[in-house]
Amino acid sequence: MTLKTFVRWSAAAALAVAFGAAQAQQVLTVVTSFPKDLTEVFKRAFETRNPGVRVEVMNRGTSSGVAYVREAAASNKPDIFWASAPDAFEVLAKENLLQKFDGRNPAVPAKIGAYPINDPEGLYYGQALAGYGLMWNTRYMRANKLPEPREWADLVKPAYHGHVAISSPSRSGTTHLTVETILQGEGWTKGWSQMLQISGNCAAITERSFGVPEGVNNGQYGIGLVIDFFGLSAKASGFPVEFHYPSVTAIVPANIGLVANARNPELGKRFIAFTLSQEGQELLLDPKISRLPVLPAVYAKAPKDFPNPYDGKIKAKVNFDSDVSEARYYLVSAIFDQAITFRHKELAAASKAIHNAAARLAAKPNAQGQKLLAEARELAFSPVVGEDKAKDKAFLALFRDTKRTAEKTKQVTGLEGYWNGVALKNYTRAAELANQAAAMAR
């Protein structure tokens, strides 16, 4: 091959592909946190129904999606934002990044439990429902002789130590919702205590929300705290897993909204209408997707055993308050990261020592030992930030500013560093105390 033919061929190939890309006329841009399995189905269905339209999907994590919409140039905003976490939409709405329009499907009920499915102001619409729950690998459970958990509280039991996995709320909007659900369901202090105990039993705090179901699917972990469709779709794809909603759960909508200054607002509205229509809702039942439709009529076509949030069988005790969640969004993430994610090794060690001491003391009771153990628990399982502080508006404002001066950055990082240090000290001390307590049982 001479240079000439070589250059000619590669140039021809390059041009062919480039022109192929430029042919479709109308482009709809969708920013979403959903996996390719879901977006591909909707993209193809919408493109077949609207010839000449190309759907461009931008897969981003929830928070990086929000950052993307915020930072995109005014002339170049994407058209649709589509994600699970309601808080992300609150953030977008507050920053005037969403566009109001009437795109409601009247057949969709106004509320699920006490939670409005559509934004009352018409800035975004509930497109699917999601609850949070427990997913486990049946082979793993059998091999390790673990009982099936039913409630979050079950996961604090010693038997589950080293078998659980959860993601970090700062990395995943869905985990943030799970954590926030527990905090709202149990209250700040008790909620954090439970969260810390569960985390102490975790084998890993994964870095992506999908890291949890992935690990459960392939048997790295026994039990994962996940959003329902992760469990349902894995089960439908043939993995040996089960999914269960605990009673402290909230069913909340996954939303879709039109971005302000969208390049193609009309097309965007058409896409939203499609996702809310009977046809679009039925696509959610695809086994690879397995999400709960907002349109009650669609459940008639659902496979057997498919959960139906409208039939009252899922006991969602928590009425999720997204205002509360939004106000302390960053704070919760930051506390979780500093006290759990980055100190997980120490937390797990403390937790193991506590389980060990409790078992010994149960066999040979010792009052002094019990006292030490209680102290260890208190140290290990109390949040680094108290409830009153978490309600302090000025304190919360510090974390909510997106544009920070160097001074503020330093203040926030200083606080985070402090929490991390406190957590480290507490866990180490708790492990020591628990070990002392265990020694007393001899």
Partner 1 sequence: MRGATPGQLAVGLLIAAFLLAFLAVPIATVIYVAFTEPGGGFTLSHFESFFHLALMRESFWNSLYVAAASVVFATLIAVPLAYFTVRFRFRGALIIQTLGVLPLIMPPFVGAVAMQLIFGRSGSVNLLLGDWFGISLPIMQGLNGVIFVEALHYFPFILMNLVVAMGNIDASMEESAQNLGASGWRLFRRIVFPLAMPGYVAGASLVFVKVFDDLGTPLVLNVTNMLAPQAYLRITSMGIEDPIGYVISVLMIGFSLFALWASALALRGRDYATLQRGGSSLAARALKPWQAALAYGWIGLVLLLVLSPHLGILLLSLGTVWSFSVVPDGFTLQHYATVFQDSPRMIGNTLLYCGLAALIDVVLATAIAYLILRTRLPLRRTLDFTASAALAIPGVVLAIGYLRTFRGVEIPFSGELVTASWLLIVIAYSIRRLPYALRSCMAALQQLHVSLEEAAESLGAGKRRTIRRIVVPLMMGGILAGFVTSFMTAAVELSATIMLTTSQNLAPMSYGIYLYMQSAAGRGPGAALGVLAVAIVALGTYLSHRFMRSRAVDLDRQL
Within 171-190, the residues that bind partner 1 by CB under 8 A are 171
Angle at 237 between CA 198 and CA 140, to 5 degrees: 40
Three-state DSSP class for residue 1:
coil
Q: How far is the CB of 156 from partner 1 (least distance, A)?
A: 21
Is residue 47 close enough to count as binding partner 1 by CB under 8 A? no
Element (H, E) at 124: strand 124-130
Q: How far is the CB of 32 from partner 1 (least distance, A)?
A: 10
Is residue 96 close enough to count as binding partner 1 by CB under 8 A? no
Question: Which one of 226-234, 273-281, 292-300, 351-359 is the stretch in contact with partner 1 (CB under 8 A)?
Answer: 226-234
Within 259-288, the residues that bind partner 1 by CB under 8 A are 287-288
Q: Can you tell me the distance from the alpha carbon of 67 to that of 45, in angstroms, rounded to the nearest whole number?
A: 28
- Give 50-53's long-range contacts (Cβ < 8 A, gap of 24+): 50/267, 50/270, 52/24, 52/25, 52/26, 53/24, 53/25, 53/26, 53/27, 53/28, 53/267
List the one residue from 23, 25, 48, 75 that touches partner 1 (CB under 8 A): 75
Closest by CA to 223, choosing from 158, 311, 302, 161, is 161
Contact predicate 80/272, CB 8 Å: yes
List the one residue from 238, 311, 312, 393 that touches partner 1 (CB under 8 A): 238
Q: x/- contact string, 101-140, with partner 1 (CB under 8 A)?
A: ------------------------------------x-xx
| Rg of the chain, C-alpha, whole Å | 24
Question: Which one of 63-71, 150-158, 176-184, 365-373 is the stretch in contact with partner 1 (CB under 8 A)?
Answer: 63-71
Instruction: Indicate the angle between helix axes 406-440 and 367-380, nearest 10 degrees.
Output: 160
Nearer to partner 1, 191 or 383 (CB): 383
Question: Which one of 229-237, 294-302, 380-388, 389-397 is the stretch in contact with partner 1 (CB under 8 A)?
Answer: 229-237
Is residue 199 close enough to count as binding partner 1 by CB under 8 A? no
Within 369-408, the residues that bind partner 1 by CB under 8 A are 402-407
Q: How far is the CB of 20 from partner 1 (least distance, A)?
A: 8
Q: Can you tell me the distance from the alpha carbon of 86 to that of 65, in angstroms, rounded to the nearest whole number?
A: 13
Q: How far is the CB of 367 from partner 1 (least distance, A)?
A: 37
> DSSP secondary-structure letter at 126?
E
299, two tokens: 């459940």
Secondary structure E strands in 3-104: 26-32, 53-59, 80-83
Provide the CA 276 distance to its chain's centre, in angstroms: 22
Residue appearing with tokens 């709809």: 28
Q: How far is the CB of 414 from partner 1 (least distance, A)?
A: 6
Nearer to partner 1, 38 or 437 (CB): 38
Nearer to partner 1, 89 or 188 (CB): 89
Question: Which one of 84-92, 209-217, 293-301, 375-383 is the stretch in contact with partner 1 (CB under 8 A)?
Answer: 209-217
Torsion of Cα atoms, 105 then 109 then 112 then 113, to 10°: 160
Is residue 12 close enough to count as binding partner 1 by CB under 8 A? no
Is residue 23 close enough to count as binding partner 1 by CB under 8 A? no
List the one residue from 96, 278, 319, 409 that touches partner 1 (CB under 8 A): 409
Q: How far is the CB of 333 from partner 1 (least distance, A)?
A: 10
Q: How far is the CB of 237 from partner 1 (least distance, A)?
A: 4
